[in-house]
Amino acid sequence: MEFFDVVKSRRSIRSFKKQALTQEVINQLIDAARLAPSAGNAQSWAFVLVTKPEIKQALVVAALGQKWLEDAAVVFVVCADLNRAEESYDERGKSLYCIQDTSAAVENILLAATALGLGACWMGAFREEEIRKVINAPNGMRPVALIPVGVPNESPRARSRRSANEVVYMESF
């Protein structure tokens, strides 16, 4: 699928058909994530792939009851590796760069899902400590996003965007 068509057709999908993904497709999503840029190529990230119903249910509780994620074929729990980021770039690595790196990886997953005809959604509202317990995260692993991915069961329209005039400035504000 052509790049700009992917960007234009990406949507937040919150309803999925109960259908598993092949390992090949999952690998393509993983590779898109791994190919994201990162500060100093430190790759301060980890991805926990959740497919088991009982673990997805525990994610729902930590994500304030967003039950629809249970129907996703796989939920990517995207973690920032704070220790690795701090080793490379101290406080700025830990508070900024690893958040940016994981976000670039997430965007690649969302776009890759779209390119593969799948649906996905970026979830940010959850209790981090509860998610950490569910996935048995070691010290320094901060869950920063949940990305349910699956076969879409809805086709929402594009959401509005602020115009370029409202968000773009030439040379300075």
Between 22 and 172, name the residue whose CB sits nearer to a copy of itself: 172
Q: What are the φ/ψ torsions at residue 36 (nearest 5 degrees)?
A: -65, 155
Stretch that binds a copy of itself, among 17-25, 61-69, 131-139, 149-157 (CB under 8 A): 131-139
Q: Pseudo-torsion of CA 136, 140, 146, 148, nearest 10°?
A: -50
Tell me which of 17, 37, 57, 67 binds a copy of itself, using CB under 8 A.
Answer: 37
- The backbone region for 17, taken as left when phi is positive above 0, alpha when psi lies in -120 to 50, beta otherwise, is beta
Q: Which H helix or E strand runs over 86? A: helix 82-92
Length of the chain: 173
Closest by Cα among 84, 87, 125, 118 to 101:
84
- Segment interacting with a copy of itself (CB under 8 A) among 16-24, 44-52, 65-73, 149-157: 44-52
Q: Which residues contact 143 (CB under 8 A, 6 or more apart)?
A: 77, 78, 79, 126, 128, 131, 132, 135, 137
The answer to the question of residue 47 lying near a copy of itself (CB under 8 A) is yes
Q: From 15-23, 61-69, 133-141, 148-156, give the range in contact with a copy of itself by CB under 8 A.
A: 133-141
Q: Give the nearest distance from C-beta 19 to a copy of itself in angstroms.
A: 19
Binding residues (CB under 8 A) for a copy of itself: these are 1-4, 6-8, 10, 12, 27-28, 30-32, 34-37, 39, 41, 43, 45-52, 55, 92, 96-97, 99-101, 103-104, 106-108, 110-112, 115, 122, 124, 134-138, 141, 144-145, 159-162, 164, 167-173
